[in-house]
Amino acid sequence: MNYQFQWNVVLSGEYLDWIIKGLVVTCQISAVSLFFALVIGTALAVMRLTRFKPFVWFTVAYTEFFRNTPLLVQIFFWYFGSDGLLPRPLLVWLYERDFEFAAGVIALTVYTSAFIAEEIRSGINSIPKNQLEASRACGLSFVQAMRYVILPQAFRIIIPPLISQSLNLIKNSSLCMTIGVAELTYMARQIESYSFRGFEAFTINMVIYLAISLLVSLAINQYNKHFLRMAG
């Protein structure tokens, strides 16, 4: 128990710059992945509710597969196996930029979109069915009824679980360090390797994730209070 804590080593100079850069990359990969996950998740939820059976079968297979396989395995799959799936011009374009970042975004997107699709589908199912029927009776197509009538109401209901999924995505982004994405956890590992100050580096790492979690939890609580006041 003679360990001497040296927080000033980690929180100064080049190591502090690494932490900031890692936090920026974490925010970037989380924001990009969340955007695409929302788009894909919404499309999947709407496809699941159509009467076109191939769409229904595809969305069921998609959500069940990606929700029930480990995210780390999916990250490795997209990093090592994308050569057999993605078009060659796209692969060349990605390699010229940041392939590790792109593979992380793809893995986080498809994994999170499967969960978001189920959240949105639950929100849509909570809307009375007669609203969709009334929208169709007014001359709107199925897609128009979803866009202008059903989805706005569904999203208002599922904001809290969507925020929770966003928080999970931010924490899951730490797994991208395994393929070389220089996010927050990767930088903490680098600091530990160079300074042998693993306790300090990963403590700061956990505190940053905790701060993000508390901010998201505060946002959820504030939304719930506002929603209850509006409902009352």
Query: What is the tens place of the pLDDT at every residue in 11-47?
Result: 888 989 999 999 999 999 999 999 999 999 999 998 9
Picking from 151, 132, 130, the residue whose alpha carbon sits closest to that of residue 140 is: 132
Split at pLDDT 50, 70, 90, the class of 104 is very high
Dihedral angle, C-alpha 133, 55, 104, 101, nearest 10 °: -80
Residue range 164-182, pLDDT digits in tens: 898 999 999 999 999 999 9
- Domain of 106 in residue numbering reads as 27-184
Residue range 112-145, pLDDT digits in tens: 999 999 999 988 888 888 887 788 788 888 888 8
Residue range 192-227, pLDDT digits in tens: 888 888 888 999 999 999 998 888 878 777 777 776
Q: What is the pTM of this model?
A: 0.88
Q: Is residue 70 part of a domain?
A: yes
From the CB of residue 199, how many other CB atoms can be counted at a distance below 10 Å? 14
Number of structural domains (the chain) is 1
Can you give the CATH number for the domain in which 97 is found? 1.10.3720.10
